[in-house]
């Protein structure tokens, strides 16, 4: 914990998914647009126009289709390859402005600008906005504060107060002005204060704004809640307690699952789906140089079809040897599938989870398997290298199949503008 004055920025791409779509289709500008989750299920991103029409975050889309048609709301399927690529571009550009960077999510990052305080930080952050806008076409908002929690609050203000031109620097305000601003911000907007915590703070402590929580007794709240609540109070008072995490922690568990676009009844299609999930998850495992010791496999019918019997088949097994080999994981997954599959059911979703993950350095192969383990590692590395250089899924396990009639619905998906040669924009 440090009491020295910090200058921490939180950069957030406005309405990220929708903004990515608008970069490649300017006709979407000014229109109400929503981006839907996998299988076109729920609204996971909304333009400001769609928000003003009352489309809630997470809204099941089948309930709003008629309303969307009446109000000319355009719904798009999620295009995660595009969003990931645009995110990488934004993060790379921001890292050129400041090397002390924590990528917090696909559309947010923290920068520690403390070492740049000799500059005019308002000008510097406005230059960031202009550069991101010019180089990627994406709009961003920037909040600055003495802690990460204050930077998040400042970012909230930057979005709400249009006269700030996208940048709000809490560090430049006198304490009395900053207190007045915090009195206007609901405590639900504070980083880490979810609905349940907010309700308890309101009911038991009469805390309703960011200023109320700032003035609260941190020791008392620590006893009643946790050390995290104490840190939040201190951070609201400008004492930085939460440091930037510049190294991405390896995942402790890797999940991969999808709902099917159509009900699946045959074991062969389920096997194809599980092969796809195993391939994705094992690739992530190798990327972070880890191995797993447990494998969880799940298949289930739809809980929303009351006329059909509900079934959820699953098994979690411990592997004989920790591995990240797609073929070995798949072999176990197919054995589990054979055990949990019941003919005649209409399956709606399948998935896997890799658990008990450790680094490859901690892996100790059995003496008589060491030579084979080296060969297997080379095969998997070769598989990953080919797909990295030629394109995703250029080389894959044949069990995965090729047609995938069960694949999730993406009826409104835009082209892969930046990740597929066939989808490049053409200028006539």
In a domain, residue 27? The reply is: yes
In a domain, residue 36? The reply is: yes
373 and 342, same structural domain? yes
User: Strand, helix or coil at 377?
Assistant: helix
In a domain, residue 104? The reply is: yes
Say if residue 280's pLDDT is above 60.
Answer: yes
Instruction: Give the CATH number, domain containing residue 304.
Output: 3.30.1490.100
124 and 5, same structural domain? yes
- Asked if 46 contacts 15 with a C-beta cutoff of 8 angstroms, the reply is yes
Which of 137, 170, 203 represents a domain boundary (last residue)?
Answer: 170
Band of pLDDT at residue 360, cut at 50, 70 and 90: confident
Mean pLDDT computed over 23-48: 92
Which of 114, 141, 170 represents a domain boundary (last residue)?
Answer: 170
Structure tokens at 25: 């289709």
pLDDT for residue 411: 78
Domain count, the chain: 3
In a domain, residue 31? The reply is: yes
Residue 181 belongs to domain spanning? 173-246
pLDDT for residue 152: 96
In a domain, residue 413? The reply is: no
376 and 262, same structural domain? yes
82 and 194, same structural domain? no
pLDDT for residue 247: 64
Q: Which pLDDT tens digit goes with each residue over 232-255? A: 999 999 999 999 886 666 678 899
Mean pLDDT computed over 187-197: 93
| HSE-up of residue 24 (Cα within 13 Å, Cβ side) | 18
Between β-strands 167-169 and 140-145, what pairing exists: parallel, antiparallel or unpaired?
A: parallel
Which of 246, 262, 291 represents a domain boundary (last residue)?
Answer: 246
In a domain, residue 421? The reply is: no
pLDDT for residue 379: 92
267 and 184, same structural domain? no
Structure tokens at 386: 């080919």
360 and 274, same structural domain? yes
Mean pLDDT computed over 288-307: 90
How much of the chain, in percent, has pLDDT values that exceed 90? 72
Q: Which pLDDT tens digit goes with each residue over 127-165? A: 999 999 999 999 999 999 999 999 999 999 999 998 999
Instruction: Give the CATH number, domain containing residue 238.
Output: 1.10.150.20
Say if residue 427's pLDDT is above 80.
Answer: no
392 and 290, same structural domain? yes
Helices (H), 34-79: 48-52, 65-70
Task: Indicate the DSSP class of residue 406.
Answer: T
287 and 234, same structural domain? no
Band of pLDDT at residue 17, cut at 50, 70 and 90: very high
Q: Which pLDDT tens digit goes with each residue over 367-426? A: 566 677 788 889 999 999 998 888 778 888 888 888 777 777 777 888 888 877 777 877
- Asked if 193 contacts 185 with a C-beta cutoff of 8 angstroms, the reply is no
Specify the residue for token string 């997954």: 333
237 and 375, same structural domain? no
In a domain, residue 414? The reply is: no
Band of pLDDT at residue 362, cut at 50, 70 and 90: low
pLDDT for residue 1: 45
User: Strand, helix or coil at 402?
Assistant: coil
Instruction: Give the CATH number, domain containing residue 74.
Output: 3.30.70.270
270 and 241, same structural domain? no
In a domain, residue 220? The reply is: yes
110 and 9, same structural domain? yes
- Asked if 183 contacts 209 with a C-beta cutoff of 8 angstroms, the reply is yes
Structure tokens at 338: 């054979």
End-to-end CA distance of the chain: 58
95 and 202, same structural domain? no
């Amino acid at each position: 914990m440090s009491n020295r004055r910090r200058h921490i920025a939180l950069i957030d791409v406005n309405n990220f998914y929708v903004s990515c779509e608008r970069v490649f289709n300017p006709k979407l500008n000014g229109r109400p647009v929503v981006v839907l989750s996998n299988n076109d299920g729920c609204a996971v991103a909304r333009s400001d126009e769609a928000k003003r029409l009352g489309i809630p975050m997470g809204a099941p889309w089948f309930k709003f289709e008629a309303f969307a048609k009446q109000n000319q709301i355009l719904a798009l399927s999620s295009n995660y390859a595009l969003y990931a690529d645009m995110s990488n571009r934004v993060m790379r550009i921001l890292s050129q402005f400041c090397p002390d960077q924590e990528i917090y999510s696909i559309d947010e990052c923290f920068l520690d600008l403390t070492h740049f305080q000799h500059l005019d930080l308002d000008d510097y952050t406005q230059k960031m906005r202009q550069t991101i806008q010019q180089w990627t076409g994406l709009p961003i908002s920037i909040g600055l504060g003495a802690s990460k929690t204050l930077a998040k609050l400042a970012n909230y203000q930057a979005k709400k107060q249009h006269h700030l031109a996208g940048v709000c620097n809490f560090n430049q305000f006198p304490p009395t002005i900053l207190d007045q601003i915090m009195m206007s911000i609901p405590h639900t907007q504070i980083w880490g204060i979810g609905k349940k915590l907010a309700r308890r703070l309101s009911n038991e402590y009469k805390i309703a704004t960011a200023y109320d929580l700032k003035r609260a007794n941190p020791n008392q709240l620590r006893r009643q809640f946790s050390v995290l609540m104490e840190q939040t109070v201190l951070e609201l008072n400008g004492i930085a307690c939460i440091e930037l995490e510049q190294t991405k922690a390896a995942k402790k568990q890797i999940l991969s699952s999808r709902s099917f676009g159509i009900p699946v009844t045959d074991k062969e299609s389920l096997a194809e789906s599980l092969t796809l999930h195993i391939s994705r998850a094992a690739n992530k495992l190798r990327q972070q140089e880890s191995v797993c010791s447990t494998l969880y496999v799940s298949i289930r019918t739809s809980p929303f079809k009351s006329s059909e019997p509900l079934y959820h088949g699953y098994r979690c097994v411990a592997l004989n040897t920790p591995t990240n080999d797609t073929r070995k994981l798949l072999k176990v997954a197919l054995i589990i599938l054979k055990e949990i599959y019941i003919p005649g059911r209409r399956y709606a979703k399948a998935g896997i989870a890799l658990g008990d993950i450790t680094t490859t350095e901690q892996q100790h192969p059995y003496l008589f398997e060491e030579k084979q383990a080296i060969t297997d590692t080379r095969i998997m590395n070769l598989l990953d290298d080919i797909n990295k250089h030629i394109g995703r899924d250029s080389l894959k396990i044949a069990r995965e199949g090729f047609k995938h009639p069960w694949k999730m619905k993406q009826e409104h998906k835009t082209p892969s503008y930046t990740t597929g040669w066939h989808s490049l924009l053409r200028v006539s």
